């Protein structure tokens, strides 16, 4: 197994050791990582002692630029299993964070060679852990770690303070938006709006958006995507005169608890579209707040 990973922590090493213990057929482990913070130098020593892994470090000016997360497992049958994504060799990167990974099983020589060339390019210039041990850079790295841990704790507190400053009712407002969007979908179906060709309008694309088939499951983003351009569904609803069946009508209603989630362009587009498309539109109601 060969891995090129930017950051390594103690908890990440513990997780990797457990995995290697559970899969004893994984041999000849090579890890290339950044030879500088945030990587924990003591974690690297633990990994070497517990697994006999070969460890190399990207150091110097190249270290801040080293940011891959690439794992290659070479099988006895000369195939490769490749894992690449966003997670580092940390507890968060392996289990807690919202990371993304792709896997690939390769058996064609050209594809396999391409992966090894990629690995070689990423890790070019790395030195072994043994070369690093005892150097001035190693001593400086370890001496800095207590101060850097304190800085990390301070950064975590700042992150928590920032997260706690977010609107408390955000989740409630989005839930209300979900409810109104699905209710709107149901009302459109019940109205049986006629299309220009005489068929009944079925808001299938709208339903796919709500079900997350287009890769987005945040209602604010879904509404924004729908309202950025005038859809065919809007034209059908416009021709029927039912302005209250448009997504735009939800955006411009100041009494909706999610009204403040929509800013600037989306709100302006929605209001202008309703004004131009529906002579009977009374305009947004005055806010009751």
Q: Which domains does the chain have, with CATH numbers?
A: 2-164 (3.30.870.10), 170-277 (no CATH)
Q: How far is CA 253 from CA 108, 175, 216, in A?
A: 58, 16, 23
The pLDDT of residue 286 is 72
Cα separation, 48 vs 53, in Å, equals: 5
- Kindly state the tokens that stand for 127: 């030195």
Look up the pTM and report it. Answer: 0.66
Q: How far is CA 51 from CA 6, 25, 87, 128, 150, in A?
A: 19, 13, 21, 16, 29
The pLDDT of residue 288 is 54
The pLDDT of residue 199 is 94
pLDDT lower than 70: segments of the chain:
165-168, 287-289
Q: Indicate if the alpha-carbon torsion angle 163, 166, 169, 171 is positive or negative.
A: negative
């Amino acid at each position: 197994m060969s891995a090129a990973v930017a950051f390594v922590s103690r908890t990440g090493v513990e997780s990797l050791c457990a995995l290697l213990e559970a899969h004893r057929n994984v041999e000849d482990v090579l890890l290339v990582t950044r030879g500088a913070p945030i990587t924990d130098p003591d974690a690297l020593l633990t990994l070497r002692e517990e697994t006999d892994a070969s460890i190399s470090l990207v150091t110097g000016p190249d270290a801040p630029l080293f940011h891959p997360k690439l794992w290659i497992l070479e099988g006895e049958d000369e195939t490769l299993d490749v894992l690449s994504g966003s997670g580092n060799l940390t507890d968060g990167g392996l289990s807690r964070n919202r990371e993304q990974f792709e896997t690939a099983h390769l058996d064609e020589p050209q594809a396999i060679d391409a992966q090894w060339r990629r690995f070689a390019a990423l890790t070019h210039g790395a030195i072994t852990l043994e070369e690093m041990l005892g150097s001035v850079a190693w001593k400086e790295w370890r001496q800095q770690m207590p101060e850097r841990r304190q800085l990390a704790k301070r950064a975590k507190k700042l992150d928590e303070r920032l997260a706690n400053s977010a609107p408390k009712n955000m989740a409630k407002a989005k839930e209300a938006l979900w409810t109104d969007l699905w209710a709107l979908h149901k009302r459109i179906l019940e109205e049986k709006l006629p299309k220009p060709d005489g068929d009944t309008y079925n808001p299938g694309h709208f339903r796919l958006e709500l079900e997350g088939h287009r890769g987005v499951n945040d209602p604010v983003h879904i509404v924004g995507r729908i309202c950025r351009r005038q859809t065919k569904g809007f034209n059908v609803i416009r021709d029927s005169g039912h302005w209250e069946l448009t997504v735009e009508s939800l955006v411009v209603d100041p009494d909706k608890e999610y009204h403040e989630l929509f800013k600037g362009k989306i709100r302006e587009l929605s209001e202008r579209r309703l004004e131009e498309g529906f002579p009977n539109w009374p305009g947004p109601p005055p806010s009751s707040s």
